[in-house]
């Protein structure tokens, strides 16, 4: 019997494959669909204090090997997700996860406090969104991250982790890991969409999305190799004390296998869920199980992080 279960922030998940925050997880009907699928948890859309309509349309496009978005954090406001978490938990007994993306430290404190009295199993703090017009990506500012993590650590009664933007310089991994290690952060999720990409329709000689003159976040297979490197670096820097969740171009069991080999304790499915819908979770899980069987691995800890190098 091949076991693809995992534990994140002390919470047992039946499989190591669940939905990423963002795609189709904004409304209660969206969350019901995820709860009924084989996703091993129900991750909700990042929320703010007040409801937001998000950026002007068009703000999302499917690409051949991924997705391109500048949604601008459309969400129903944290009070709705507090309610939804109770409804979903009662109905499905599947772990519900909140994603919090407050606009200020005070907002984040308020939202974390509100989720203390809910059945959410853990929280993913999102300081890495590239699409909030006029707001910097906090995950690129170590001092701001230090302040934010300090503030939420003081109020959260739930275990929490942080969804990070991608880093490309080894020094940045070390600086961010140093800040994160100061706080009771249980996991990091690598990575959010790559910010401010530009996708062009050459026939029309035009951009594809309206916000920011056409700049938006790139996801899917385009970002997989850098995302794998982010998982690998944080896995090494955290030495098994903080778990790493991989996200970015997980379409197949091979993708999931590679993330786990790099050090991930779980993978999230974003672009592939957007494009293929609920059956994608079972497909990835079945393919991962098959690969493990062919390699005689009975559980993911048998190969997690055990990527071989050439030296």
Residues that bind ligand RRO (CB under 6 A): 22, 46, 69-73, 101, 126, 128-129, 131, 192-193, 217
User: Angle of helix 224-238 relative to helix 170-181, nearest 10 degrees?
Assistant: 50
Alpha-carbon distance 207 to 214, whole Å? 5
Residues 119, 94 contacting (CB under 8 angstroms): no
CB nearer to ligand RRO: pick between 166 and 263: 166
Give the shortest CB-75-to-ligand RRO separation in angstroms: 8
CB nearer to ligand RRO: pick between 96 and 193: 193
CB nearer to ligand RRO: pick between 71 and 284: 71
Give the shortest CB-207-to-ligand RRO separation in angstroms: 16
Bridge partners of 126, per DSSP, are none
**Terminal C-alpha separation, the chain:** 34
Residues 23, 175 contacting (CB under 8 angstroms): no
What six digits make up the tokens of 119?
């059945």
CB nearer to ligand RRO: pick between 73 and 262: 73
Give the shortest CB-269-to-ligand RRO separation in angstroms: 14
Give the shortest CB-230-to-ligand RRO separation in angstroms: 15
- Max distance between CA atoms of the chain, in angstroms, equals 54
Give the shortest CB-23-to-ligand RRO separation in angstroms: 9
Alpha-carbon distance 47 to 52, whole Å? 9
CB nearer to ligand RRO: pick between 85 and 132: 132
Alpha-carbon distance 151 to 145, whole Å? 10
């Amino acid at each position: 019997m091949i076991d693809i279960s995992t534990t994140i922030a002390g919470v047992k998940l039946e499989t190591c494959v669940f939905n990423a925050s963002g795609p189709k997880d904004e409304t209660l009907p969206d969350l019901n669909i995820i709860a009924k699928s084989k996703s091993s948890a129900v991750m909700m859309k990042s929320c703010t204090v007040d409801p937001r309509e998000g950026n002007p349309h068009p703000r999302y496009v499917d690409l051949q090997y991924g997705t391109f978005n500048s949604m601008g954090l459309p969400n129903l406001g944290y009070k709705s997700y507090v309610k939804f978490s109770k409804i979903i938990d009662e109905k499905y007994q599947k772990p519900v996860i909140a994603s919090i993306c407050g606009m200020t430290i005070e907002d984040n404190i308020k939202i974390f406090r509100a989720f203390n009295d809910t059945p959410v199993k853990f929280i993913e703090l999102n300081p890495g969104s590239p699409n909030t017009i006029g707001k910097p990506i906090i995950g690129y500012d170590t001092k701001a991250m230090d302040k934010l993590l300090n503030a939420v650590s003081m109020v959260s009664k739930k275990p929490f982790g942080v969804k990070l933007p991608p880093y490309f310089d080894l020094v940045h991994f070390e600086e961010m890991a140093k800040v994160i290690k100061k706080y009771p952060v249980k996991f990091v999720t690598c990575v959010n969409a790559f910010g401010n990409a530009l996708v062009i329709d050459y026939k029309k000689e035009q951009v594809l999305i309206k916000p920011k003159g056409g700049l938006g976040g790139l996801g899917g297979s385009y970002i997989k190799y850098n995302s794998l490197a982010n998982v690998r670096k944080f896995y090494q820097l955290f030495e098994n004390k903080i778990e790493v969740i991989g996200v970015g171009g997980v379409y197949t069991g091979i993708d999931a296998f590679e993330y786990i080999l790099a050090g991930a304790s779980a993978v999230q499915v974003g672009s592939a869920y957007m494009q293929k819908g609920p059956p994608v979770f079972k497909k990835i899980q079945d393919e991962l199980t098959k690969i493990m069987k062919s390699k005689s691995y009975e559980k993911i800890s048998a190969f997690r992080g055990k990527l071989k190098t050439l030296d």
